């Protein structure tokens, strides 16, 4: 049986200190990151999200901001969740706690995110057109509208994580 902790199976994305953002591939060129001549850059807008998740307009779409703290983040497609590593002795310990965390999560406010297909998760300070030059993760989402909600969880005495769940809604 394949487990997430096997080398090359799970990729963790980190930021330089600001929020991570998931931008649909179709609008990646419209995300300017910390660049730009405006008084408030796209990165500044992402930093203003005062919640575990939030949506920002990008081109003719929307990006999902993973706010709260700049935790290392991975995507678990089998659960449809971004897992944000707050504290754990090992990746194996963190991932072992995901099922119980999902079962007991006290979910926060839900937002609805319409995506046209795959999204790219990366540090919001980077311009979308330059994601190939930095850590990024392509998440192959099916086009549609997703209910997105987040929860802080502590599945073990030394294990804390944030879950960001994506549930595809029926038409």
- Give me the numbers of helices (H) and strands (E) for the chain, helices first please: 3, 10
pLDDT in tens, 39-95: 789 999 999 999 999 999 999 999 999 998 889 999 999 999 999 999 999 999 999
How far is residue 49 from each of residues 20, 22, 44, 115, 168, measured CA to CA in Å? 11, 14, 9, 19, 23
Query: In this predicted structure, what is the pLDDT of residue 171?
Result: 73
pTM confidence score = 0.91
User: If you compute the radius of gyration of the chain from its CA atoms, what whole number of angstroms results?
Assistant: 15
First to last CA, the chain: 34
Query: What percent of the chain clears pLDDT 70, i.e. is strictly above it?
Result: 92
Q: Where are the alpha helices (DSSP H) in the chain?
A: 42-47, 91-96, 98-104
**Residue indicated by tokens 């096997």:** 6
- pLDDT: is 4 or 144 the higher one? 144
């Amino acid at each position: 049986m394949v487990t997430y902790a096997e080398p090359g199976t799970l990729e963790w994305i980190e930021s330089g200190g600001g929020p991570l953002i998931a931008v649909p591939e179709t609008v990646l060129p419209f995300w300017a990151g910390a660049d730009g001549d405006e008084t408030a850059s796209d990165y500044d807008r992402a930093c203003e999200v005062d919640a575990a998740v939030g949506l920002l307009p990008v081109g003719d779409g929307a990006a999902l901001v993973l706010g709260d703290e700049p935790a290392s983040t991975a995507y678990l497609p089998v659960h449809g969740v971004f897992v944000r590593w707050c504290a754990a002795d090992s990746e194996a310990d963190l991932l072992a706690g995901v099922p119980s965390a999902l079962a007991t999560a006290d979910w926060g406010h839900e937002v609805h995110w319409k995506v046209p297909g795959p999204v790219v998760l990366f540090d919001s300070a980077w311009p979308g057109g330059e994601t190939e030059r930095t850590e990024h993760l392509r998440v192959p989402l099916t086009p549609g509208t997703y209910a997105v909600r987040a929860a802080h969880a502590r599945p073990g005495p030394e294990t804390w994580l944030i879950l960001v769940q994506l549930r595809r809604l029926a038409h």
